[in-house]
Structure 1
């Protein structure tokens, strides 16, 4: 199987694809380009969708909104960040970090009291830091090794339990499963009092466990939102979806299992 994920080499997405022993790994420069490549049926994609510290990944949610693709699996990966540099800590005058990485390491970066420049990936942080005098980068251990940057401070993440949830995306839905999650996209065509209460109520009265809900701008103007919902696979779920579809527009993003990640 060809897996398309975020590059260059040394990103957490690339590390995950390696751990899953993918047959062929294609690295794309942005999450948007991963979605476009999967939509063109060049392979399946692996993208981060949420982090325990920084929350949802906007680019991935926007990709699910824009492209008619499906989620076919989810994976959880512990995330540990490190400060790497070619100079000692007291000589660092700027630090490169991905925006999500910045959020996950905000406490440490505030203590450093140097400017933080955002990059497109952790690997890109390493590349930029190597080109800039007196620079550091927030990296994984594997990225630091790939780009030959010494780690000078380990585990700079805010929370030692820091975890990112990734999803596998595909042009076609998966075969289905009896346990796991389902994801849907709700796009309300009206704005009225009690709408969200009604939407969630179809699950609550059937005791279906909602594991995640997140709003995202619909791109159609201020105050217009879509909602991403994940729920545990349950017997009454089909009935709940039929009731939900009578209230508003719903797009099924797929039902899928959790995939174990080898250490």
Structure 2
């Protein structure tokens, strides 16, 4: 089976995929965009690994939008410490532009402000390396692995705002996980009405059953200003099915999967 993730070679997604495949029959396929990964998975071309959220920059909108659009399930989650570095063929004082992925930009905003160098966004950290390598007086913010792969010297290490910077990744499939005792579940709520107390009623379904909500986030529904859908993660319990049944009486619910955390290799 293909394990489809974000390329080119050297992205954090690619690093994680390499840790997940040793000793298996899976092969890694690299795709340049998250939308492309989710599209390929929806077509049955393999499972996908995509970033879901970062402790510094928040949720990855492209992943959330893809989960809204495609009939996909989350089958596992993984957590990866993220450390960024500024790499360039020349010294910091010579740089005229820095290439960085938008999430990387957010995660390294304090250093970037301090440097005062213009930023150009790219589709991935590996793409940043490729652009910096062919552009005079340019740098890239990327992983140590990407700097090594593309032969760009690191001139400033650990440029992330927070030394505990972590990204949560999820494995995506067309087939739900079959674990009988998963750890976490994810759903998408699409309210059909807009009224006072609606959000309270939605959350009360979980609170009255003692189900712990671990994350809630609104996202534009794409149907007009002020119209939102809600992503919820919650700890699995025996009352989960009952809570969802009650929730469906007041809103539309799309189940995104119940799953466990997977520890990637060192």
In the TM superposition, what whole-angstrom CA distance separates every residue of 1:93-142 from its partner, at most 9, and x where no partner exists?
11000000000000000011010010000000000011111001001000
1:4 match: 4
Residue in 1 that maps onto 2:41: 38
Matching of residue 256 in structure 1 with residue 259 in structure 2: yes
Q: Does 236-245 or 72-81 show the bigger shift? A: 236-245
CA drift at 1:75: 0.3
1:15 equivalent in structure 2: 15
Determine which of 60, 63, 69 is the counterpart of 1:60.
63
Structure 2: 5+ residue stretches without partners:
none
Tell me if the contact between 1:177 and 1:256 (Cα under 8 Å) persists in the aligned partners: no
Cα deviation, residue 206, structure 1:
0.9
1:261, distance to aligned residue in structure 2 (A): 1.3
Question: Aligned residue for 2:163?
Answer: 160
Equivalenced residues, count:
263
Contact 1:185 1:229 in 2 (8 A): yes
Tell me the TM-score normalised to structure 1 length.
0.99
Matched, 1:211 2:214: yes
Q: Which moved more, 1:59-68 or 1:20-29?
A: 20-29
Cα RMSD for the two superposed structures: 0.8
What does 1:200-239 correspond to in 2, within 5 Å?
A: 200-239=203-242
**Alignment partner of 1:226: what SS?**
strand
Q: Name the CA distance, whole Å, in 1 between partners of 2:93 and 2:19.
A: 35
Cα drift, residue 179 of structure 1 = 3.6
Secondary structure of 1:257's counterpart equals strand
1:207 CA drift (Å): 1.1
Shift of 1:262: 1.1
Match of 1:129 in 2: 132
Residue 110, structure 1, aligned to residue 113, structure 2: yes
Partner of 1:187: 190
Q: Cα offset for 1:180?
A: 1.1
Normalising by structure 2, we get a TM-score of 0.98
Runs of 4+ in 1 over 6 A off after TM superposition: none
Matched with 2:75 is 72
Give the CA deviation at 1:176: 2.5
